[in-house]
Chains A and B, each alone.
Chain A
Amino acid sequence: MGRKVKDNFAKGIIYLATGITLSVLIFIVGFIFVKGIGLVNFDFLTRDFNEKVFYAFVQNEDVSMSIDEEALKQKTPFDDRYESLIEGPIYVDNIGAAIAKVTYKNNATEHEQLVISYIEKNSPLTNAADSTGKEMRIGTDYVIQSINGTDFEGLSLDEAAALIKNQSDELKIKVVQPGGGVKSNIITTLYMVLLSLVIAIPLGIFGAIYLTEYAKPGRFVNTIRFAAECLSGIPSIIFGLFGMAFFVVALKLQISLLSGSLTVAIILLPVIIRSTEEALKTVPTSFREGSLALGATKLQTIFKVVLPCAVPGIATAVLLSIGRVVGESAALLLTAGTVAQIPGTLLSPGSTLTVQAYYVAKEEGNIELACAIGIVIIVIVIVLNILSRIMSDKLDVFNKK
């Protein structure tokens, strides 16, 4: 009897612990989705993080409205960056768009702004040019601040609309492209993944080939394995320190995409070496012997027989690595920076999604936005997972044939 009570008690504790583990996961993922989902939409994914002010040159061309007044009111943009709608919208023929007056919630200031609430399909705004003559389009949610040198500040909506209508020549409009999106971070993350894989995958695979196919077991192999193990135990902030001292300062690569991806490549190395080694070891020795007996050289055997058999294992390594790069933050904070922009060259900085999430949570205290970025990260991780699994399943089938 006593034993049964004790056993059930122990069982209860085990169930409790498992329950805690499960609920922690559900709680975290749930928290991130519930908090962040309100901000995730098409604009969030396609806009830059920072707003951008520039002059746009627009043809003065009448386009009549194709929808009725009611529908126009429905199209008034309203997300939580706007405090309230004050006037409007009014449709202005010669720009083929409707404008509305709203109070615009900025971090520091709260003041009235003219925002473009609706644009006709063939509006001249969709075919504007910036000061360098580059083609660009002005979309809804863009704020307009002045036209041909006259400021809108202090004008009522009607006056502003009349001002726009009275222009006779080409329009030079000062516009503010809305920010708040993570497009640049998504692209930086992709660049970072690609670059670091391009660096780390060949190094890791070739290294693993040497360890399994060439090296005789002994001190040398053990040293390398020991080094790889030590590397995987080092916290990523130390990699960041090293990346900063070596790539950023000593090699003068600056805080940049390249410094970041080189640093991350070192972090990936042990994962790739280990998984590839394990994959290579599972290829039966008889395969190699058969190939050698047919007169193939060792190199031919490796590339035509051994490696193809190990592809699923290597694919797993790639999958793990991608997840690692997407999740990496401490090392990238020190080597790739926190600037939310698409890096134009290898030597320009850029923040990945995770670094941006940190920056937003820490520097701006904006948990919702951080969670919204978190949703993008989690979805990317899951999608990559599924894609790679499908790929490696296919390769498995291919191999069995």
Chain B
Amino acid sequence: MEAIKRKKLRERIIENIFLLCACVAVISLLAITFFVFYNGLAPFVSNSYSLWSFLTGVEWRPGSNMYGIFYMIVGSVLATFGAILIGVPVAILTAVFIAEMAGSRAGKVIRFAVELLAGIPSVLYGVFGLGIIVPYVLKISPMAQGESLLATVFVLAIMILPTVVSISETSLSAVPKEYREGSYALGASKIQTIFRVVLPAAKSGIMTGVILGIGRAIGETMAVMLVCGNPIAGIPTSLFSQIRPLTTNIALEMGYASGVHQELLYSTGVVLFVFIMIINFAVNRIVKTKVGN
């Protein structure tokens, strides 16, 4: 009797340990949100810096107490938008090739290539950008430096490829065979079937891939830091302007910042955080309504 009781107790204890471990993810998420927001909202609550001038300022000069991040928001958004514009079509068409047109061998090769691309650490994309893309941009640029919005766009476009390709490919492969057969039976060609039947059917999955791509692009730090130029002021006016995305602002100065300066770097993190939430929720909505219809 004693032994069984003890055994049962042990089972209960271990079950609770499992429960605790399961909760770590939730606790971490709450802790991250709390710590970033707590530190990031502090300067506005204590009135040591105005929220308005933080959000609308176009100069970041910690030395003279100017902390404006509007030009960074513009930079982040433009770079992400550009990367999506270039990267998504290439990625989706590559996914189409793998899922619909490639034989098993070619498909394997390209799938392996995409996996490898996903495994390359982001720093190395940055090094590649700095070594190849930046000098090329410099050749065609009217500016004195190659670090620019354009270079950032190219690096990010490459970096979102694996994410968008692999998710699009999965959703394309999940489209039932009957759809294609039905389309062929109606006299459509293979290409017509792909573009009119398969792609629309896989739309929501592809959208998910694109969202994740946007998330990756806007959150990318190390690669971008090497190729974007990081100016201390100025809204980008052309493709050759330097930009300073939100992420690099944090990474560049967190190491030595203190006081209000440091808190405002956390505030930059809060803005980034909010951005990611908005993107996720907005596009989640779109996907849901589309699927609903």
In the assembled complex, B3 has its CB within 8 A of some CB on chain A: no
CA distance A327 to B90 in the complex (A): 25
Secondary structure type dominating chain B contacts: helix
Complex contact A361–B127 (CB within 8 A):
yes
Minimal Cβ-Cβ distance residue in A for B92 = A17
Which of the listed residues A231, A238, A270, A355 has the most CB atoms from chain B within 10 Å of its own CB? A238
What is the CB-to-nearest-CB distance from A36 to chain B, in angstroms, rounded to a whole number?
9
Secondary structure type dominating chain A contacts: helix
The residues of A that contact B101 with a CB separation of less than 8 Å are 11, 14
CA distance A241 to B89 in the complex (A): 33
Q: Which A residues between 207 and 238 are near B, CB-CB below 8 angstroms?
A: 207-211, 213-215, 223-224, 227-228, 230-231, 233-238
Binds B, one of A26-34, A98-106, A122-130: A26-34
Complex contact A241–B127 (CB within 8 A):
no
In the assembled complex, B225 has its CB within 8 A of some CB on chain A: yes
In the assembled complex, B35 has its CB within 8 A of some CB on chain A: yes
What is the CB-to-nearest-CB distance from B123 to chain A, in angstroms, rounded to a whole number?
5
In the assembled complex, A13 has its CB within 8 A of some CB on chain B: yes
Complex contact B222–A333 (CB within 8 A):
yes
1/0 per residue, CB under 8 A from B, across A29-54: the answer is 10110010000000000000000000
Minimal Cβ-Cβ distance residue in A for B114 = A21
CA distance A377 to B123 in the complex (A): 11
Q: Which of A6, A32, A235, A357 makes the CB contact (< 8 A) with B191?
A: A6
Complex contact B119–A381 (CB within 8 A):
yes
Complex contact A242–B7 (CB within 8 A):
no
CA distance A27 to B129 in the complex (A): 11
Q: Which of B14, B126, B221, B269 makes the CB contact (< 8 A) with A299?
A: B14
Minimal Cβ-Cβ distance residue in B for A235 = B219
Q: Which B residues between 91 and 142 are near A, CB-CB below 8 angstroms?
A: 91-94, 96-98, 101, 110, 113-114, 116-117, 119-128, 130-132
What is the CB-to-nearest-CB distance from A309 to chain B, in angstroms, rounded to a whole number?
18
1/0 per residue, CB under 8 A from A, across B189-231: the answer is 1111011000000000000000010010011111001100000
In the assembled complex, B247 has its CB within 8 A of some CB on chain A: yes
Binds A, one of B26-34, B55-63, B285-293: B26-34
Complex contact B215–A233 (CB within 8 A):
yes
Which of the listed residues A18, A27, A228 has the most CB atoms from chain B within 10 Å of its own CB? A18
In the assembled complex, B176 has its CB within 8 A of some CB on chain A: no
In the assembled complex, A155 has its CB within 8 A of some CB on chain B: no
Complex contact B19–A235 (CB within 8 A):
no
What is the CB-to-nearest-CB distance from A218 to chain B, in angstroms, rounded to a whole number?
13
1/0 per residue, CB under 8 A from A, across B73-102: the answer is 000000000000000011111101110010
Q: Which of A223, A330, A361 makes the CB contact (< 8 A) with B251?
A: A330
Complex contact A31–B251 (CB within 8 A):
no
In the assembled complex, A239 has its CB within 8 A of some CB on chain B: yes
Q: Which A residues between 292 and 323 are near B, CB-CB below 8 angstroms?
A: 297-299, 323
Given contacts A32-B124, A361-B226, contact A224 B26 (CB under 8 A): yes
The residues of A that contact B226 with a CB separation of less than 8 Å are 358, 361-362
CA distance A363 to B94 in the complex (A): 36
The residues of B that contact A371 with a CB separation of less than 8 Å are 127, 131
Minimal Cβ-Cβ distance residue in B for A370 = B127
Complex contact B165–A21 (CB within 8 A):
yes
In the assembled complex, B272 has its CB within 8 A of some CB on chain A: yes
Complex contact A330–B28 (CB within 8 A):
no
The residues of B that contact A250 with a CB separation of less than 8 Å are 35
The residues of A that contact B251 with a CB separation of less than 8 Å are 237, 240, 330, 333-334
Q: Which of B97, B119, B219 makes the CB contact (< 8 A) with A14?
A: B97
The residues of B that contact A329 with a CB separation of less than 8 Å are 121-123, 221-222
Complex contact A15–B218 (CB within 8 A):
no
In the assembled complex, B18 has its CB within 8 A of some CB on chain A: yes
Given contacts A22-B110, A24-B161, A377-B124, contact A246 B31 (CB under 8 A): yes
Question: Which B residues are within 8 Å of any A CB, using their own CB?
Answer: 7, 10-11, 14-15, 17-19, 21-26, 28-29, 31-32, 35-36, 38-39, 89-94, 96-98, 101, 110, 113-114, 116-117, 119-128, 130-132, 158, 161, 165, 189-192, 194-195, 212, 215, 218-222, 225-226, 247, 250-251, 254-255, 265-266, 269, 272-273, 276, 280
